[in-house]
Amino acid sequence: MYLQKLYLKDYRSYEHLLFEPDPHLNILVGENATGKTNLLESIYYLAAGRSQRTHRDAELVRWGSDGFYIKASLLGSPVRHTVEFLYHKAKGKSFRVDGVRRNTLADVIGFANAVIFSPDDLTLLKGGPGERRSFLDSEIGQVNRSYLRSLARYNRVLSQRNDVLRNLRRSRNSKSTEDLLLEPWDLQLAKSGAAIVTARLTMLHRWAAGARETYQEIAGPGENLTMSYQCSFFGEIPLSMQDKDLSITKKDMEARLLDRLGESRVEEVGRGYTVVGPHRDDLAMFVSGRDARYFASQGQQRSVVLALRIAEVRWMEEEIKRPPLLLLDDVMSELDAGRAQRLARLVGSGVQTFITCTDLSDLNLGRSDGMMWETGGGDVKTIGP
């Protein structure tokens, strides 16, 4: 699958843009603030249904406009699909696939898949738990539509359950009244919560193994990368286990979450919100056993996120049986020669790649085929092969 045509209207700095990229390599060069990241962001949006930079669609609307529109032609073998996203500040989002209106995001995700590398990736490590969760959610969501449905269901139940908790906090009730009002929500929350955590763990076990391997290649034999899923109702779950040791089932998860909701009753009613569940979980990364957030050097931290991204590309390729689009935003200039080479090896044949830079001399890619584009003046113009 590759992106054959992209049309943007009122998306960020683009009033109108028609972009017909090369099926293989696209090098986008332009000065700062000329729309390079904006363009890659719109391609990522096609794949994930959200920006990698923000979850607020209103920020993506060109200043002074009411909404944005993205239309893309994706050429697979052998079929072509047209995917459209329309966002209006007052009316919200709508989607179409091949001209037919679809109701949910889950129905438009997965026609394109993309992995983006950017200097902001360090926030995966250094940012808050919410950033790591939304990262997991959009990556898994790209390849697993039922995950997006579970997530939507979970968030709906969570918000309704929180309404009940807020009401209970205001009034004085007996324990049995609280149980009576909350138990139906507990059951639903535990069910969809367990589905979410199970899907996250399935992905993470494979992904962590890939990241561990890649980290070894980048950093050499003296260090290792391990990860764990920090579950608010199950405790710390190491991600370095072999598949055969993966003994926690969805039923186990559901039962444990249900128990913990029961045990947290007094605390939850006191606070007026739900304190356990996948919306409170986190992912931790360790370099040679120490939490990379606090103890890894800058170079080690960069290597950790690079290893995570490369593992993500491999994981996604296995899942969807074809390589995802690769979006490399301004990353080559930041990497030393060895790491740049590793990344460049991913830019193999059959992977449609988009690389941005401000200066072509920063690009130590070791190959020169593909198409070059210049960004500026709200446009993207070809400057030759």
| Among the residue ranges 36-44, 50-58, 94-102, 223-231, the one whose residues contact Mg ion (CB under 5 A) | 36-44
**Cβ distance 101 to 95 under 8 Å?**
yes
Please say which residue, 36 or 302, places its beta carbon nearer to Mg ion: 36
Q: Using omega within 30 degrees of 0 as the cis cutoff, is the peptide bond preceding 184 cis?
A: no
Indicate whether 37 belongs to the interface with Mg ion (CB under 5 A). yes
Which range in 11-19, 33-41, 54-62, 174-182 contacts Mg ion by CB under 5 A? 33-41
- Name residue 160's amino acid: Q
Of the pair 37, 113, the CB lying nearest Mg ion is at 37
Report in angstroms how near the CB of residue 2 gets to ligand ATP at its nearest.
22
The smaller minimum CB distance to ligand ATP, of residues 62 and 256, is found at 62
Contacts with ligand ATP, residue ranges (CB under 6 A): 12-13, 30, 32-38, 59, 61-63, 330, 358, 375
Q: Which of 310, 291, 332 is nearest to 217 (CA)?
A: 310
Q: Which two tokens stand for residue 78?
A: 């052998």
Pick between residue 32 and residue 349 the one whose CB is nearest to ligand ATP: 32
Q: Least distance in Å: CB of 358 to Mg ion?
A: 9
Measured from the CB of residue 129, what is the shortest distance to Mg ion in angstroms? Answer: 26
Closest CB to Mg ion among residues 202, 358: 358
| Separation between Cα atoms, residue 226 and residue 287, nearest integer Å | 7
Angle at 146 between CA 142 and CA 150, to 5 degrees: 110
Residue 33 contact among Mg ion, ligand ATP, none, beta carbon within 5 to 8 Å by kind? ligand ATP
Q: For helices 129-143 and 298-320, what crossing angle results, to 10°?
A: 20
- Site string (59-88) toward Mg ion, x via CB under 5 A: ------------------------------
Alpha-carbon distance of 83 to 105, in angstroms, equals 12
Instruction: Residue 362: count other Cβ atoms within 10 Å of its Cβ.
Output: 16
CB-nearer residue toward ligand ATP: 32 or 247: 32
Residue with CB nearest Mg ion?
A: 37
**26 Cβ neighbours under 8 A, 6+ residues apart:** 352, 353, 354, 355, 370, 371, 372, 373
Partner from ligand ATP, Mg ion, none binding residue 358, C-beta < 5-8 Å depending on class: ligand ATP
Least spacing, CB of residue 253 vs ligand ATP, in Å: 40
**How many Cβ atoms are within 10 Å of 109's Cβ, its own excluded?**
25
Decide whether 61 or 164 has the Cβ nearer to ligand ATP: 61
Distance, in Å, from the CA atom of 259 to the CA atom of 54, rounded to the nearest integer, reads 34
Minimum distance between the CB of residue 260 and ligand ATP, rounded to whole angstroms? 42
Pull the structure tokens for residue 193: 């919560």
In the complex, the residues that contact Mg ion under the rule CB under 5 A are 36-37
